[in-house]
Chain A
C-alpha cells in the first residue's frame, strides 16, 4: 500500500496523541482511585453506586439516630435507676416506721423528714432535663416542666402521653422516651386490682389485708365498704320468769335493775307476776318498751324501731337486802338469795356488711366477724384482723392510679401530721333529772370547730326523749342537710369537715359524729353558754363515744370556759315595765370579775314601747347601755333584745374566762329593780369541749401498709420500664450490628465496583508510558527517513 507522507506524519502524531490520552485517562483513574469517572464509563455500575450511596447514607443516618436514641435511653435508664433506689430507700424507711412502737414521736418525724427529702429528690428526677434542656419525662411537651405541686400536696402532670419514636432502621423504630404519666403517674394502687383502706375515724384496732383476687372473671371495678357493727349478745325480747315469785314479798325487800339505761325499781307490795309486769311497764314507759306477762314470765321487748333489733340489756341488779347469788338467773329462779349486781360483761361481738358503693347494693349483710377470717366477695378476698369498733368502716376500692409523689406525700402526712380524727360523742343523758324542768328556757351553744349551732327552746315535757327531740329540732333548724335516715349534717367551718347529728336508738340522746379532718388541727366539739332561764341549774353531759379516739377533754363536768362568743345573760325575769317608775333602778353587774352597780334612771319605760318584740323600749336599752358605760367607764356589756323575747345583757369581751353576773345590788331593795326580784344569774361556767384525737396507731399501720403496697407497685412499674428500656437498647444494639454488617457489605460491593485495582492500573500505566515512548521514538525515526536526505 502507498503511504502518503502526510498520513505517515499525522498517523505518527495521532498514535502519540492517542497514547497520551490513554495515559491521561489512566492517570486520572489512579489519582482518583476509581474505575470510572463519569456515568457513561459504565452507566449500570454508576447507577448501582449511586443507589448504594443512598443506602449507605441512610444507614449512616440510622446509626446516628440509633446513637441518639441510645443517649436518650441511657439518660432515662440512669434516672430510673436513681428512682428505683429512691423507692427502695423509702420502702426501708416505711418499714422502719412501721416497727416503731410509739406513735407521734420524734423518730417518726425524722423518718418523715427524710421521706420529704426523697420526695423532693423524686420530683427532681421526674423533672430531669437532657443536655439540650428538654424535660425527658414530659411526653411530647418537653419544654414544659412536667411535674409541679399545686401547693395542696398534689402533683400535677403537665406533660402528655406522647412517645418519641426514632428511626433506627429502614423499617424499624424504637421508642426513645417514656412519658411521665407512664413512669410516675399511672401506678395502680393496692394490689393492682383493688386497694384497701381503713377509715381514719375507725375506733377499733382492726386492720385489713392487701387481699387477693380469687376469681378474676367475677371482679368488677366497683368500690365497696365493709361496715362493722357491734352486736348485742341476744336479740329480740328479754324474758324474766317470775312464776316462782308469787309469794315474794317486796315489802321489805326492794330490787332494782337497769333496763338499758333506765332503772326499774320494784317497790313494795308487788308480789305477783302481773303486778310486777305493770310496775316494770310504768317504770319504763310505753314509748320504747313493751312489757307483758304470761304464766309467770315477764317479757320486756323493745318497741323502738329501726336502729337495732337487739334485746334490752338488763344489768345493775341491786337489792337492798342481801339476796345472795350473783346472777340474774338466781333472781329469775325465785331463789331468795338473789342479789342484783351488774350483768356479766358480754364480750362484744361484731358483724359486718359489705356494701357495693358503686351500685348501692349490699353484697353481704350482717356476717359474723371472726378475727383474721376471710371476707370474700366480687371475686376477691381480704382479711380483717384485730378488734374493730362499732361503726368502723373499711374500704375496698377498685384500684386507681396514684402518682408516686402522692404516695410519698401521704406517707409523710401520715407520719408527720396525721389527719385529725373525727369527734364522736353523745350529748344528753338524763335531761329530766339535770335541771331541764318543764317551762325552763334552755339556751346553749354547740360549736363544731368554728361553726356555731345555737340551741334555744322551752322545755315542754318531763321526758328525756321529748327534750332530746326538742334539741334535735333546734339542730335541724340550723341550715343543715337532712339525710334520708333522719340525721342532719351541718358543714363545718374548715373545708371538707362536717358534722352529723342523730337521735340515738331510744331517742333520748343526741349522737354526733364529724367527718373529714383538718391537718394539724384537732376537730373540736364544745358546748358553751349553757343557760337555764329559771333555776339555771341545767347540766348537759357530753360524752365521747368510740373508745379509742383519745379525747383531751371528754368530761361532762364543767371545765374551764372556752367561750369565744360573747356571753349573754337574760334579765327578762326582772323586768316589770308596768310599774310606774318612782325611783332609780339599781342592780349589781359583774363582768369578768369587776363588779359595779348599774343605775337606770327612774323613767316610765312603758310610755314609749318601740317595736321590739314584746314591747321593750328602745329608750330602756339606751338607758341601760348608758348606765353600764357610766358605771364601768366602758361598754363592757350591751343590752340587747333577747332571742327569747326578753332583755339580755351581753359581754363585749369574748374568750376564755369571760363571765357575767347580774344580781341585786348590795343594800338596794329588790323593789328598786323594776319592781321584781332578779335572781343571781351567772353565766360563764359549764362549757365543755371535746377534742378529737389523733388516729389510732393501727390506722397509721394501715397507712404504712398501703404506702408499702403502692411503693411496691411503683417499684414494679419502674422495673418494668427499665426492663423495657433494656430491651429497646438491646434492639438498638442488634440493629446497629445488623446495620454495620450490612453497611460493610454495601461498602465492599461499592468498592468492588468503583475502586481501582491499583496494581493493575499502575502496570497499565507503565505499559502505556513505554508504548508512548516507543511511539515517539518511532515517529522521530520515521520522520528522519527521507529520500531527500540522500539526494
Chain B
C-alpha cells in the first residue's frame, strides 16, 4: 500500500515538472530563438512482486528542446543570403535614386548643356546665351561632382558599415565561444543546457546575418563555426577575430582580414556572404563599376569637348582654351645639367645638343671657356635657349618655349643654381608631354671624355622615365604627364608606375594592376581578370592608356590603376568669361568682289589644329601669268607661293596651314579666293555647331556610345543589377520564411496547445492528489481497523 503513495508522489512530481515546463513554454512565447520544451515522461521500473510486475509510477525522463538542426542550418543559410541581398539592395537603391533622378539628374544636366550650346549657336554674338551656357556647364559640373561625391560617400559608408559589422561579428563569435564554454559546464553536471543552446542558436543566426557560416557540432556539445569558405572562426571556446585594414592595393579602402595567432589572412577574394559579403559585393560589383562608368563619361565629355573647343575662335579673337578641366593632364617638371665640369664639359670643348619638345627643337652649343664655372655653362645654355625664335624671355629669369606644335602647350626653363629646371604647361591630356635631349655632340677638342647631361624629374607626380644621362649618341627622354598609379603598401621598391589617358574611345571601365615578377611587368585588367600585356620594360599602350614604369621596382611590387574612378569629381568647367566660349572658326573664306569668273569657296574645315597657322591670310589666286587652268596658293603677307601652278578642277579641295576648303565653279584668270583669320566674326557659330553636334557622336567604348548613351548604360546596369538582387531577395526571403515557418511549426510555442497541456497536466496532478487522498483514506481505514 505504501507504494501507492510513492507512486502518486512520482506522478505529482512529474506533473509538477510538466506544468513548470508548460509555463516555461508559455512564459517564453515571445522569446526570440526560443524552442519549445517538452517533459519526457517515462514509467518507472516496475517492482517485481512474485511473478507480477507492479508499476512504480512515472519518471521525468528529460526536458526536451524541440529542434531540428537541419531546419536551424537552413535558416542560417537563408538568413545569410537574404542579409547579403538586403544590404546590397539597400545601398543599390540609393545609388539608383542618385543616378536616375529625373529632374535634377545628370541626364537633364547634359540635355540642358547641349541645348545651351544650341542656343549659343543660334545667337553666337549674344551675351545672354553664352552666360546661360556657362550656367548650364556649371549645372553639368555640379551633377557630375554631386553624383561622383555621393558615390564616394557611399563607398565610405560601405567601408564604415564593414568595419562596424566586423565589430559585431567579433562580438558574436566571442559570444559563441563563451556559450560553448557555458554549455560544456552545464553538460558537465548532466544538466540540459536547453536555453543556452537556444541562445547559441540565436547568436549563430545573428552571425549568419553578418556572414555565411557553417557549424560543426562537437561531441562535447560545443560548436565549431567556420566561415562559408572554410576558415575556422570559433573553435570550442576560442574565437578568432576579423579585422578591417587598409587594402594594400588600394589603401583608401578597407579590406577584411582574419586575424589568427600566426598572422592575418586576407579575405578580399573569399566569398564571405551575409551583410559583409553584400557590402563587398556592392562596393566591388556595383559602386566601383558605376564610378568608373561615370568617370569615363566625364573624361570623354571633357576631353572631346575640349579638343573641339580649342579649335575654335572666341569673341575676344583668341583661339579657344580648354572648356573643362582635363582629367589626365599633368605637366613635365624636371631638370638637367648641374655639374658640367665633371661631366665631360672640358675647357675648350664645344658641346652641342638639341632639346626637343612638342615637335620643336632648341639647338644648344657651348664652348667651355678657360675660367668657366658650372654656373657660366648653365648661363650659356640658357642663352642658347633664349636665342631660339620661339622662346620668349619673360624677364623674370624664366624663358618660355611658347606655342609648340600643339596649341596652348608651352615649356618654361629656369635656372636653379647650375641646374636648368623646366616645367610644361597646358595641353590636352591625350598628348603626353615629352622632353628629349638628343644629338648630343662633344668635339673633344681638349679631352677625350664625352660630355654627359643628366636629366631628372622634380616632384612626386612627374617622375621622369627613361631619365638619366644623355651622352653622345644616346638621347634621354623625359615623359610626362602622368597620374601616379597607386603603389601597393607592401611594395619594397621605390619605383613608380605612371599612366596617361591617351585615347578616350579605347578607355574601359576597368581598373588595372601592374605587377613585376623580377623579369617582366604584367598588366592585369581587373574587370575580366585577364593579363592583357607583359613586357620586360614597359611602357604599355593599351585600352586607351599609356602606362610607363620606372624607378627601382622590385619583384613582387604591384601598382593599382584606377583611370576613371574619380574623374567625375574632378570634372570642372574652367572657362569663366562668356566671351571665351569659342563659337567661331578661326578662319573665314571669301571670294573677291572683283572676280570675273563664278568661282566659289566653301567656308572651310579645320583638318589639323595642331599644325595650324590660322593667322596668315592665304589667297587662292588664278594668276593670269600661270598656265591656263591653274592657280597658286599664296601667303599674302610674304607673297610666298605656297603651292605653285595647281591644276584646277571644280569641286576640288585645297589644304593649307591646317585648314581645308573646297573650291568650285568656273574661274577666270585673275580671280582670287581668300582664306583669312576670322577676327571680329561675332556671328560665326561653326565651331559651336560642331560642339553641339558632339551630343550625338559616339566617342566612348570604341566609338560605340555617345555621352548620354554611356551614362544610360551605367544607369541601366545599376538598375539591372539592383533588380536582379531584388528578385533574388524575394526568392530567398520566401525560402527563409519557409524555413522559419518550418521551425516555428516544430519549435514554436502554441499557446492553445500549452493551455491544453496545462489542463491536461493539471488534471493529472489533481488525479494524483486524489490518489494520495485515496491512499490516505485507505491508511486511515486500515488504521481504524487496527
| Given A41-B723, A65-B118, A141-B682, residue A50 in contact with residue B584 (CB < 8 A) | no
| Given A5-B752, A50-B107, A786-B755, residue A43 in contact with residue B115 (CB < 8 A) | no
Q: Is the CB of A134 within 8 A of B715?
A: no
Q: Which of B316-369 contact A (CB under 8 A)?
A: none
- Encode A34-65 as 1/0 by CB contact (under 8 A) with B: 00001111111011001101100110111011
Binds B, one of A156-164, A366-374, A643-651, A663-671: A156-164
From B97, B118, B584, B715, contact of A140 by CB (8 A): B584
B741 within 8 A of partner (CB) = yes
From B115, B596, B686, contact of A400 by CB (8 A): B596
Q: Is the CB of A3 within 8 A of B750?
A: yes
From A47, A65, A69, A163, contact of B715 by CB (8 A): A47
State A687–B270 Cα separation when bound (angstroms).
125
Shortest B593–chain A CB gap in Å is: 5
Shortest A253–chain B CB gap in Å is: 68
Q: Is the CB of B685 within 8 A of A164?
A: yes
A232 within 8 A of partner (CB) = no
B452 within 8 A of partner (CB) = no
Shortest B489–chain A CB gap in Å is: 37
| Given A3-B750, A41-B723, A160-B590, residue A167 in contact with residue B93 (CB < 8 A) | no
| Given A1-B745, A161-B590, residue A39 in contact with residue B684 (CB < 8 A) | no
A548 within 8 A of partner (CB) = no
Q: Is the CB of B122 within 8 A of A787?
A: no
B250 within 8 A of partner (CB) = no
- Encode B558-602 as 1/0 by CB contact (under 8 A) with A: 000000000000000000000000001000111101111100000
Q: Is the CB of B689 within 8 A of A167?
A: yes
A747 within 8 A of partner (CB) = no
Q: Which of B754-782 contact A (CB under 8 A)?
A: 755-756, 758-759
> In the assembled complex, which residues on chain B have CB atoms less than 8 Å from the CB atom of A43?
716, 719-720, 723
> In the assembled complex, which residues on chain B have CB atoms less than 8 Å from the CB atom of A2?
745-746, 748, 750, 753
Which residue of A has the minimal Cβ distance to B737? A14
| Given A38-B93, A140-B588, residue A167 in contact with residue B121 (CB < 8 A) | yes
State A164–B583 Cα separation when bound (angstroms).
11
B483 within 8 A of partner (CB) = no
Interface size class of B (residues with CB under 8 A): 35 or more
Q: Is the CB of B125 within 8 A of A142?
A: yes
B181 within 8 A of partner (CB) = no
Q: Is the CB of A46 within 8 A of B744?
A: no
B525 within 8 A of partner (CB) = no
B508 within 8 A of partner (CB) = no
Q: Is the CB of A58 within 8 A of B750?
A: no
From A140, A167, A185, A186, contact of B693 by CB (8 A): A167
Query: DSSP class of B's interface residues: helix, strand, loop or mixed?
Result: helix
| Given A2-B750, A4-B750, residue A165 in contact with residue B685 (CB < 8 A) | yes
State A400–B669 Cα separation when bound (angstroms).
14
Shortest B604–chain A CB gap in Å is: 11
Q: Which of B692-742 contact A (CB under 8 A)?
A: 692-693, 695-696, 708-709, 712-713, 715-716, 718-723, 726, 740-741
- Encode A60-98 as 1/0 by CB contact (under 8 A) with B: 111011001100000000000000000000000000000
B681 within 8 A of partner (CB) = yes
State A769–B693 Cα separation when bound (angstroms).
51
B111 within 8 A of partner (CB) = yes
> In the assembled complex, which residues on chain B have CB atoms less than 8 Å from the CB atom of A785?
752
> In the assembled complex, which residues on chain A have CB atoms less than 8 Å from the CB atom of B121?
65, 166-167
State A216–B19 Cα separation when bound (angstroms).
127
A19 within 8 A of partner (CB) = no
B271 within 8 A of partner (CB) = no
Q: Is the CB of B744 within 8 A of A164?
A: no
State A41–B718 Cα separation when bound (angstroms).
11
> In the assembled complex, which residues on chain B have CB atoms less than 8 Å from the CB atom of A166?
121-122
| Given A3-B750, A161-B589, residue A58 in contact with residue B682 (CB < 8 A) | no
Shortest A40–chain B CB gap in Å is: 4
Total residues of chain A contacting the partner, CB 8 A = 65
> In the assembled complex, which residues on chain A have CB atoms less than 8 Å from the CB atom of B107?
50, 53-54
> In the assembled complex, which residues on chain B have CB atoms less than 8 Å from the CB atom of A6?
29-30, 744, 748-749
> In the assembled complex, which residues on chain A have CB atoms less than 8 Å from the CB atom of B712?
47, 50-51
B751 within 8 A of partner (CB) = yes
> In the assembled complex, which residues on chain A have CB atoms less than 8 Å from the CB atom of B540?
none
B226 within 8 A of partner (CB) = no
Which residue of A has the minimal Cβ distance to B597? A221
B546 within 8 A of partner (CB) = no
Q: Is the CB of B750 within 8 A of A401?
A: no
Instruction: Indicate the member of B712, B718, B753 with the most A CB atoms within 10 Å.
Output: B712
> In the assembled complex, which residues on chain B have CB atoms less than 8 Å from the CB atom of A138?
683
Q: Is the CB of A4 within 8 A of B748?
A: yes
> In the assembled complex, which residues on chain A have CB atoms less than 8 Å from the CB atom of B680?
140-141, 143-144
Shortest A154–chain B CB gap in Å is: 12
B613 within 8 A of partner (CB) = no
Which residue of B has the minimal Cβ distance to A54? B708
B234 within 8 A of partner (CB) = no
Which residue of B has the minimal Cβ distance to A71? B122
A177 within 8 A of partner (CB) = yes
State A53–B109 Cα separation when bound (angstroms).
12
| Given A39-B718, A54-B708, residue A177 in contact with residue B748 (CB < 8 A) | no
Shortest B324–chain A CB gap in Å is: 20
State A108–B531 Cα separation when bound (angstroms).
93
Instruction: Indicate the member of A7, A38, A51 with the most B CB atoms within 10 Å.
Output: A38
| Given A38-B97, A61-B118, A140-B584, residue A44 in contact with residue B683 (CB < 8 A) | no
Q: Is the CB of A3 within 8 A of B744?
A: yes
Q: Which of B66-104 contact A (CB under 8 A)?
A: 92-93, 96-97, 99-100, 102
Q: Is the CB of A398 within 8 A of B596?
A: yes
State A163–B686 Cα separation when bound (angstroms).
9
Q: Which of A119-142 contact B (CB under 8 A)?
A: 132, 134, 138-142
A510 within 8 A of partner (CB) = no
Shortest B605–chain A CB gap in Å is: 13
| Given A5-B29, A38-B719, residue A68 in contact with residue B708 (CB < 8 A) | no
State A177–B123 Cα separation when bound (angstroms).
12
- Encode A671-695 as 1/0 by CB contact (under 8 A) with B: 0000000000000000000000000
Shortest A276–chain B CB gap in Å is: 60
Shortest A75–chain B CB gap in Å is: 13
A791 within 8 A of partner (CB) = yes
- Encode B352-396 as 1/0 by CB contact (under 8 A) with A: 000000000000000000000000000000000000000000000
| Given A7-B741, A43-B720, A134-B125, residue A140 in contact with residue B682 (CB < 8 A) | yes
> In the assembled complex, which residues on chain B have CB atoms less than 8 Å from the CB atom of A1?
745
Q: Which of A687-711 contact B (CB under 8 A)?
A: none
Instruction: Indicate the member of A40, A41, A141, A185 with the most B CB atoms within 10 Å.
Output: A40
Q: Is the CB of A5 within 8 A of B755?
A: no
B678 within 8 A of partner (CB) = yes
A173 within 8 A of partner (CB) = yes
A411 within 8 A of partner (CB) = no
| Given A39-B718, A53-B111, residue A140 in contact with residue B92 (CB < 8 A) | no
> In the assembled complex, which residues on chain A have CB atoms less than 8 Å from the CB atom of B465?
none
State A43–B723 Cα separation when bound (angstroms).
8
Q: Which of B605-619 contact A (CB under 8 A)?
A: none
B114 within 8 A of partner (CB) = yes
Which residue of A has the minimal Cβ distance to B128? A132
Shortest A684–chain B CB gap in Å is: 53
Question: Top 7 closest A-B pairs, CB basis?
Answer: A4-B748, A39-B719, A140-B681, A43-B719, A40-B722, A787-B755, A7-B744
23 example contacts (A-B, Cβ-Cβ < 8 A) are as follows A3-B748, A4-B744, A5-B750, A5-B751, A6-B30, A47-B712, A50-B715, A51-B708, A53-B107, A53-B108, A54-B107, A54-B110, A57-B111, A57-B115, A58-B114, A60-B115, A65-B121, A65-B122, A160-B590, A161-B589, A164-B684, A221-B596, A785-B752
Given contacts A4-B747, A46-B716, could you give 6 more A-B pairs where the C-beta distance is less than 8 Å?
A: A40-B720, A54-B111, A64-B115, A65-B122, A162-B681, A167-B121
